[in-house]
């Protein structure tokens, strides 16, 4: 018998079905699901895993946070303990009568490490079992048959590099998390998570917040004219050539000239080619998905699921160029069976030649592309949105460029110059397929040099400079890639962890909580190296060297532990300062506002004996003022008071939903928050 190991059950079932042409028998062996079939005349068993079947952890004697000195934890032994007992027993039992094991997990570092776990348990039963590897980028019949007909050697160094990351992240996370949690008194469910990658990522967000807070707005003025050519012509607008006036008096002098007529001085017309997008690699896919409203982690989970079902290619790749072996026209023809893409497919097939766009080419998996046509009814709403995004990107890379005609008109009057700009679409090209990237038009009338233009109205607009924008998940992922923080596989999970620990909130615009500020401020003040990407980036390079066989895993892990030991010495010396900073921040975060009953205490978020959170007065027991709270979601304070009852208003974010609510349970806004929102908007409009 021979064994095949897949990473997940859904992928394993499909691989087995493709190899056996559907003639597969599902069984239960020692409590684990397996797929038995005959492949090329050989009895074959496919055992699907559930991702990692081993945990990387410290021995149990190191589990007590309070009794184990952190210095001991830095150099503590690391063990790989059994996690999925039934699957492990199944592998051991099945290996006894098997002469070879084929690893068919995901073809990346994590997949290689997961495969190594299966190999380790198999060899415990059968040391002579032959080990081979199947690498593929799509779970399609063509890819699976090709990979299993050309089996390769298992890449142990690749697996070791992933295990090095797991061990290093365990040590750093455990030591720093325990230190900050113990110092601040935040234990149990409220522990403060600090990590090798998540902390410098959080520092990027906090530093952007600091930039915004330190930003000093500056007023400036713009001059806009409403113009018209002749009596019957269409109106258009033009702005003063100087664009921004930093002195109001200078702008007002121009307004006082009372310009009634402008003359066309110059007309500049140019065609602009808008290049079609390059194929999706992981980072660009996650950014595009984030721009359509998905969190990075959810987008990756869905893309992984689509891959395992055989609908799309492997979603973890750095490649932006399709390989020559990929039959692009065949995939296009497959998509013709989906009503949503029929017109787009016809556009592409009507071209004389299909020439795909190309970005940076790497030696790993091909870019993300659709493998088969999938009916909309088969997928749920979110799955379809991600599948459609991948399909439209694929089709857009095969269609022609978009072209616009851009017109810039220089107008002159009373020694002042104005500019009118227009844009018309000559060829919508790929943008007609990839509608996530919109193309707009600004139509100007036909203008020639010497034409006289009537000025209908001239307006002075007062504006202010804006601070740098908050990071979005899209821009944060791009920044993490730039600084080599994490990997294409781990970045979505890192961002999600920051959300789950309540260090950040907000969907389109990411904001840092007070606790995040406290942790980063303490580290920047007392141990700056932990917040900077440089050291983490260096560790990533060393893991690459492990994968290339240039460095040994143990040496890299030990070197990282030594660096952590020096960092621990530094922050231990500043323990009291850090304690005060973080406890003060936590207290500030929990304050909703002043108590409107006793006017002496603050309304503070607390937890009762049952573990449920509520708002109570800090002047308790002298004041028993309290309010119930939603038990789910991240709560942030606002400066608003309810327009109905004048009670404090909080903001609640639960998953993708974000809303405001009045704390007063008897307030009628509880019955209809929409009405309250409308009244609030009307109130702001009147102002």
d(CA 142, CA 133): 17
List the one residue out of 87, 90, 60 whose CA is nearest residue 76.
60
- Classify burial at 296, counting beta carbons within 10 Å of its beta carbon; exposed 0-12, middle 13-18, buried 19 or more: buried
Among residues 455, 460, 456, the alpha carbon closest in space to that of 413 is found at 455
Rounded Cα distance between 376 and 339, Å, is 9
- Identify the three-state secondary structure at position 319: coil
For residues 82 and 54, is the Cβ–Cβ distance under 8 A?
A: yes
CA distance 488 to 480: 9
User: What six digits make up the tokens of 686?
Assistant: 């009147």
Beta bridge partners of 133: 103, 152
Q: Which residues lie closer than 8 Å to 674 by C-beta, 6 or more apart?
A: none
Distance CA 323, CA 590 (A): 54
**Which one of 121, 135, 314, 471 is the catalytic residue?**
314
Number of H helices, E strands in the chain: 20, 23
Beta-carbon-side half-sphere exposure of residue 511 (alpha carbons within 13 Å): 12
Whether 314 is catalytic is yes
Residue 643 in tokens: 């327009």
Which residue, 386, 394, 201, is CA-closest to 291?
386
Residue closest to 227 by CA, chosen among 458, 459, 461, 454 = 454
- 3-state SS assignment for residue 124: helix
Q: How far is the C-alpha of 273 from the C-alpha of 268, rounded, in Å?
A: 16
E-strand ranges in 278-414 read: 402-413
Q: Report yes or no: 103 and 115 within 8 Å, Cβ to Cβ.
A: yes
The answer to whether residues 444 and 420 touch, using CB atoms and an 8 Å cutoff, is yes
Extended beta strands in 552-664, E state: 591-594, 602-607, 613-617, 626-628, 634-641, 648-654, 657-662
Structure tokens at 371: 């493998």
Q: Residue 52 phi/psi, 5° resolution?
A: -65, 130
Nearest to 669 by CA among 679, 657, 656: 679
Show the CA angle centred on residue 300, arms to residues 481 and 190, nearest 5°: 85
Residues 290 and 296: beta-carbon distance below 8 Å: yes
Residue 364 preceded by cis peptide, ω within 30 = no
Tell me, what DSSP letter sits at residue 416?
E
**Distance between CA atoms of residues 632 and 387, nearest Å:** 31
66-71 CB contacts, 8 Å cutoff, 24+ apart: 66/182, 70/175, 70/178, 70/179, 70/568, 70/572, 71/565, 71/568
Catalytic residues: 314
């Amino acid at each position: 018998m021979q064994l095949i190991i897949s990473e997940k059950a859904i992928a394993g079932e499909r691989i087995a079905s493709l190899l056996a042409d559907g003639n597969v028998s599902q069984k239960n062996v020692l409590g684990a699901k397996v797929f038995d079939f005959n492949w090329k005349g050989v009895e074959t068993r496919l055992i699907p895993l559930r991702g990692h079947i081993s945990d990387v952890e410290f021995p149990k004697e190191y589990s007590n946070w309070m009794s184990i000195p952190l210095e001991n934890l830095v150099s503590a032994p690391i063990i790989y303990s059994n996690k999925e007992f039934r699957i492990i027993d199944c592998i051991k039992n099945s290996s006894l009568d098997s002469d070879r094991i084929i690893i068919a997990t995901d073809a990346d570092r994590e997949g290689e490490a997961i495969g190594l776990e299966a190999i380790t348990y198999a060899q415990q039963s059968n040391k002579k079992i032959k080990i081979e590897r199947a690498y593929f980028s799509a779970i399609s019949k063509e890819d699976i048959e090709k990979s299993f007909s050309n089996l390769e050697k298992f890449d142990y160094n690749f697996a070791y590099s992933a295990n090095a990351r797991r061990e290093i992240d365990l040590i750093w996370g455990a030591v720093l998390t325990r230190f900050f949690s113990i110092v601040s008194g935040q234990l149990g469910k409220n522990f403060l998570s600090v990590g090798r990658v998540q902390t410098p990522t959080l520092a990027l967000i906090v530093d952007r917040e600091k930039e915004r807070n330190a930003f000093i707005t500056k007023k400036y003025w713009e001059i806009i004219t409403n113009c018209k050519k002749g009596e019957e012509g269409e109106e258009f607008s033009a702005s003063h050539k100087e664009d921004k006036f930093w002195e109001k008096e200078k702008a007002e002098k121009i307004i006082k000239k009372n310009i009634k007529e402008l003359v066309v001085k110059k007309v500049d017309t140019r065609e602009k080619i808008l290049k079609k997008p390059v194929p999706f690699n992981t980072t660009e896919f996650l950014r595009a998905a984030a721009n359509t409203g998905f969190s990075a982690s959810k987008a990756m989970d869905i893309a992984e699921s689509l891959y395992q079902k055989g609908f799309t290619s492997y979603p973890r790749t750095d490649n932006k160029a399709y390989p020559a072996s990929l039959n692009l026209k065949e995939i296009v023809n497959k998509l013709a069976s989906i009503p949503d893409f029929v017109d787009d497919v016809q556009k592409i097939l009507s071209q004389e030649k299909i020439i795909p766009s190309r970005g940076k080419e790497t030696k790993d998996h091909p870019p993300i592309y659709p493998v088969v046509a999938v009916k909309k009814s088969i997928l749920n709403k979110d799955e379809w949105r991600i599948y459609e995004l991948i399909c439209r990107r694929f089709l857009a890379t095969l269609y022609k460029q978009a072209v616009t005609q851009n017109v810039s008109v220089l107008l002159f009057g009373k020694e002042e110059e104005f500019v009118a700009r227009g844009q018309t679409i000559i060829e919508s090209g790929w943008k007609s397929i990839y509608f996530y990237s919109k193309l707009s038009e600004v139509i100007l009338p036909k203008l020639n040099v010497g034409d006289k233009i009537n000025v209908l109205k001239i307006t002075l607009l007062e504006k202010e400079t804006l601070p740098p924008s908050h990071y979005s998940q899209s821009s944060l992922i791009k920044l993490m890639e730039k600084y080599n923080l994490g990997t294409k596989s781990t970045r979505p999970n890192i961002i999600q962890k920051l959300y789950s620990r309540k260090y950040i909130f907000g969907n389109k615009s990411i904001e840092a909580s007070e606790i995040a500020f406290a942790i980063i401020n303490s580290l920047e003040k007392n141990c700056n190296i932990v917040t900077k990407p440089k050291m983490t980036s260096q560790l990533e390079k060393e893991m690459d060297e492990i994968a290339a066989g240039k460095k040994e895993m143990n040496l890299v892990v030990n070197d990282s532990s030594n660096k952590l030991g020096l960092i621990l010495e530094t922050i231990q010396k500043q323990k009291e300062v850090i304690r005060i900073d973080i406890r003060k921040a936590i207290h500030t975060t929990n304050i909703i506002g002043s108590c409107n009953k006793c006017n002496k205490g603050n309304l503070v978020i607390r937890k009762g004996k049952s573990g449920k959170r509520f708002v109570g007065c800090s002047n308790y027991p002298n004041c028993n003022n309290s309010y119930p709270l939603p038990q789910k979601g991240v709560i942030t304070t606002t400066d608003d008071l309810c327009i109905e009852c004048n009670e404090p208003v909080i903001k609640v974010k639960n998953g993708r939903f974000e809303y405001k609510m009045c704390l007063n349970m008897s307030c009628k806004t509880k019955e209809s928050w929409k009405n309250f929102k409308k009244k609030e908007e009307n109130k702001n409009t009147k102002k």
